[in-house]
Amino acid sequence: MKCKRCRRAEAAVDLPSHHAAFCPDCFFVFFRRQVREGIRRYRLLAPGDRVLVCVSGGKDSLVLWDVLMEAGYKTEGLYIDLGIEGYSARSREKVAAFAAARGKTPIVVELAKEGIPIPEAARCIRMQECSICGTVKRYFFNKVAAEGGFSVVATGHNLDDEGARLLGNLLHWQRDHLARQHPFLPEAGTGLVRKVKPLWRITEMETAAYGFLKGIDYVTEECPMSLDATSLVYKEALSLIEDKMPGTRIVFYQGFLDASNPLRQATVEPMADDGEETGFGKGSAGGVPGACSSCGASTFAQVCSFCRLKERVREQRERRREKT
Amino acid sequence: MEGLKSFVDAAMPCGPVSRKGNFPNRGSGAVSCIMHPMIRVRLPQKKRELDVPGPRRVMDILAEAGVRPTTVIVTQGKRLLTRDHKVEDGETIEVISVVSGG
């Protein structure tokens, strides 16, 4: 199969959803255009932004960092070491090697040092690992961004992630979640930093292909905590449909984002974030939230969700210690 | 030689063969089994390997392995393979899952 763009070289990536196939060089052009279009459509980033890219060592986040650097954005990487035996060390190595090759040093937060490594925390308070992980990550995204003077946080969520999330939200009619699902979550006056998802138009297969062709060494193993994640069921369902009807996924998500979508108009609100948020740095201008009595972060409760979580883990840990 | 090959092919109709080597005629003594090379398909994340007879297109190999095309990339050394790429006997390909959870 020949490349549909240059019509000379042999194609390396075929994309039925775009009725296209590209050689490596033309695929890079296509990929960067898709990211640029994703950023332009919702003004995710401005040229002067300082971007904190959240990297896990997986393909999406490393590819995102690579593409943003190439596009000339001022970026730094944030790696959160979740404290998962073996997996965290291996993914951290990938991030360090990727950054070093580009003259960067990632900012690292170690949850073990913060007193809340994910596996132990989940065991202590009998909560889903992914749920704890989400709360903890959001906390540190805001904290590191505020302390480091970053104007925006970028994550590597792709079209498959967002499509699966949308399907899950629709199946359960999660109106509040639907209202907050968007590639652009604006900065809130409470010190919540703007969050963007520049890869929202790009599939997992495309980021994997880009990473492979660019020689980006990413961690291919799955997070052992996420093997039973419900999002995988929704992804599976969507990929089944996508195989039969290429292009369905982008139509599904893009149609949801369309401002004329009645569902969107019915649910749209100023979007804070994916869950209860904790913000840093700017106080509570324009909102009810005050400062967390424990850590000082802006929160809608007296104590922020992160500090509450941490306290529950600490209590359970002590109880266990007393028993033994 | 050609006659011998066709005899072996007839005696050992090779469907996909697992890495452990579950050959239908092994140990029966009926056929002195001469292996002709097949396509080696590696699925590293599933810690699985299988051999399929070639030549065969990538999309057919994926179907045989029970893998949906939108969930993987298929590589051969430093090359990415498209779905219609024909793989020959004796070649090795890797099927890498692209699905991330969480």
Query: Domain-by-domain residue ranges, chain A?
Result: 41-273
Task: State whether B85 and A205 contact (CB < 8 Å).
Answer: no
Task: State whether A14 and B71 contact (CB < 8 Å).
Answer: no
Longest dimension (CA), chain A: 72
**Which residues of chain A does B101 touch, with a Cβ-Cβ cutoff of 8 Å?**
222-223, 226-227, 229, 231-232
Written as one string, the DSSP assignment of A109-122 is EETTTTT--HHHHH
Report yes or no: A118 and A154 within 8 Å, Cβ to Cβ: no
Task: State whether A239 and B70 contact (CB < 8 Å).
Answer: yes
Place of tokens 């004796």: B90
A292-313 mean pLDDT: 87
Least confident of A297-306, B11-20, B71-80, B87-96: B11-20
Closest Cα in chain A to B58 = A14
Task: State whether A204 and B99 contact (CB < 8 Å).
Answer: yes
Q: Which amino acid is at A140?
A: F
Instruction: State residue A280's pLDDT score.
Output: 60
- The answer as to whether B30 is a domain residue is yes
Query: The domain spanning residue B74 has which CATH number?
Result: 3.10.20.30
Provide the chain B residues 4-43 that lie in CB contact (below 8 A) with chain A.
Answer: none
Closest CB to B96: pick one of A24, A213, A220.
A220
Report yes or no: A109 and A141 within 8 Å, Cβ to Cβ: no
Instruction: State residue A266's pLDDT score.
Output: 61
| pLDDT tens, position by position, A141-180 | 999 999 999 999 999 999 999 999 999 999 999 988 898 8
Report yes or no: A48 and A72 within 8 Å, Cβ to Cβ: no
Is the pLDDT at A303 greater than 50? The verdict is: yes
Task: State whether A212 and B73 contact (CB < 8 Å).
Answer: yes
- The answer as to whether B70 is a domain residue is yes
Report yes or no: B77 at the A interface, CB cutoff 8 Å. no
**Which residues of chain A does B68 touch, with a Cβ-Cβ cutoff of 8 Å?**
239-240, 243
| pLDDT tens, position by position, A174-213 | 988 898 899 999 887 666 889 999 999 999 999 999 999 9
Letter string b/e over residues B41-71, b meaning 16 or more CB atoms within 10 A of that residue's CB:
bbbebeeeebbbbbebbbeebbebbebebbb
CATH topology of domain A41-273: Rossmann fold (3.40.50)
Q: Which domain holds residue B90?
A: 2-97
Closest CB to B100: pick one of A24, A58, A130.
A58
Q: Which helix (H) or strand (E) holds A144?
A: helix A129-148
Instruction: State residue B14's pLDDT score.
Output: 45
Q: Provide the mean pLDDT of chain B.
A: 77
- The answer as to whether B25 is a domain residue is yes
Closest CB to B80: pick one of A209, A229, A239.
A209
Instruction: State residue A268's pLDDT score.
Output: 45
Pick the more confident residue, A226 or A214.
A214
Percent of chain A whose predicted confidence (pLDDT) is above 70 = 91
| pLDDT tens, position by position, A61-120 | 999 999 999 999 999 999 999 999 999 999 999 999 999 999 999 999 999 999 899 998
Instruction: State residue B93's pLDDT score.
Output: 97
Q: How confident is the model at residue B28 (pLDDT cuts 50, 70, 90)?
A: very low
Pick the more confident residue, A127 or A144.
A144
**How many structural domains compose chain B?**
1
Closest CB to B101: pick one of A222, A240, A243.
A222
| pLDDT tens, position by position, B82-101 | 999 999 999 999 999 999 87
Q: Compute chain B's Rg from CA coordinates.
A: 15
**Which residues of chain A does B100 touch, with a Cβ-Cβ cutoff of 8 Å?**
58-60, 161, 204, 222-223, 226
Q: How far is CA A146 from CA A64, A66, A67, A308, B79, in A?
A: 21, 23, 24, 21, 42
Closest CB to B82: pick one of A11, A203, A243.
A11
Place of tokens 């092919």: B9
A13-40 mean pLDDT: 97
* Collapsed DSSP state (helix, strand, coil) of residue A108: strand
Report yes or no: B50 and B16 within 8 Å, Cβ to Cβ: yes
**Which residues of chain A does B72 touch, with a Cβ-Cβ cutoff of 8 Å?**
205
Provide the CB-side half-sphere exposure for A312 (13 A, CA): 16
Is the pLDDT at B67 greater than 90? The verdict is: yes
Closest Cα in chain B to A243 = B70
Closest CB to A226: pick one of B68, B82, B102.
B102
Name the pairing type of β-strands A50-55 and A152-154.
Answer: parallel
Least confident of A85-94, A119-128, A233-242, B66-75: A119-128
Query: For residue B98, what are its two tokens?
Result: 């692209």
Instruction: State residue A283's pLDDT score.
Output: 42
**Which residues of chain B does A59 touch, with a Cβ-Cβ cutoff of 8 Å?**
98, 100
